[in-house]
Amino acid sequence: MNLVQLLNNLVNNFKEVIYRKDLIKLSSLYNDVKWSDNHRFAQHYQKHFAPLRLKKLKILEIGIGGYDDPKAGGDSLRMWRSYFPNSMIYGIDIVDKKSLESNSIQIFQGSQEDKNFLEKIIAETGKMDIIIVDGSSVNEHRVKTFNILFPLLNDAGIYAEENTHISYWPSLGEKWSSLSEKSVFLSNHVNVGGSIDLNASHTIMAMYKRLTDGLNYQEFLNPGYSPSYLDKHIVAIHFYHNLVITYKGNNNEGSNIIENNTLQPSVLEILGVSSLEELGIKFPEVDLPSRQVMDLTTNIENK
């Protein structure tokens, strides 16, 4: 290390201490593309994470950066370590990035769509408080990851989904598929599996748009409706450009006029009827927003 590099490191270390409370300024010290002008995530994370900064948390980030290079990446992990001084930071990548481990940073190698792998990590570390997803750009992988990991968040946990632009990118097809075998970078961009159709049902954004209905499941006028795990445990979804932040909790706020997904007796009385059937409403089967998303093989309610 020459004198210039040494001085630059000293300056950055000094700035890191000064900026440690301000995620927007702190992010300027790191080279990760997510903190560039085109990915303004820091301002949103500052809003959501500032009240938690000094707590003792378990934070997992999927996708460490640096693509195929085992020694490249890790900037965001180091930034989270600086911003959350009392927390343990975990990282997952499909490439072996163990060389980037350091104090308060532990790294696992594996696939974010591998249920057994992810559950094994959580069994070892305990449930997470914050999960940040910046790994595979394949929509199907993202949906699977959410299905597996959201139930494994602690209560009041936060799940952040980055780079949701992949929803709008279709796969490039067989002509380019052989390129995907050459690098992780190409694989992420050739086989995205999004759609130019904004009404496509299989994308990561479509998943979150469906889940917003689940926030209001107690307002569904559909007798016999049985709320899913996600209905009952998602309490807020915040949408930003290229970023969705979801909060876990107990979604148990009642309705003013609906009870057990039918009209309350007092409302029926006001309408002058004794039962919902007398209103002549036909009830098609609800397109369950959260059951479309969930694809778990275990009973997560009992975990």
261-276 pLDDT, tens digit each: 889 999 989 999 988 8
Mean pLDDT within 217-240? 92
User: For the segment 79-128, what is each residue's pLDDT rounded down to a tens digit?
Assistant: 999 999 999 999 999 999 999 999 999 999 999 999 999 999 999 999 99
The more confident residue out of 153 and 295 is 153
pLDDT at 296: 36
Residue pLDDT, tens place only, 75-90: 999 999 999 999 999 9
List pLDDT tens digits, range 155-187: 999 999 999 999 998 877 655 556 555 555 666
Give me the pLDDT at residue 282, please.
Answer: 80
Q: Which pLDDT tens digit goes with each residue over 50-82? A: 999 999 999 999 999 888 899 999 999 999 999
State how far the Cα of 72 lies from the Cα of 172, in Å rounded to an integer: 27
Query: Where in the chain are the domains?
Result: 40-257+284-302
CATH number, domain 40-257+284-302: 3.40.50.150
DSSP 242: T
- Of 13-22, 227-236, 265-274, which gets the smallest average pLDDT? 13-22
Q: Is 154 exposed, middle or buried (0-12, 13-18, 19+ CB in 10 A)?
A: middle
pTM score? 0.86
Q: What is the pLDDT of residue 299?
A: 38
Structure tokens, 189: 């961009």
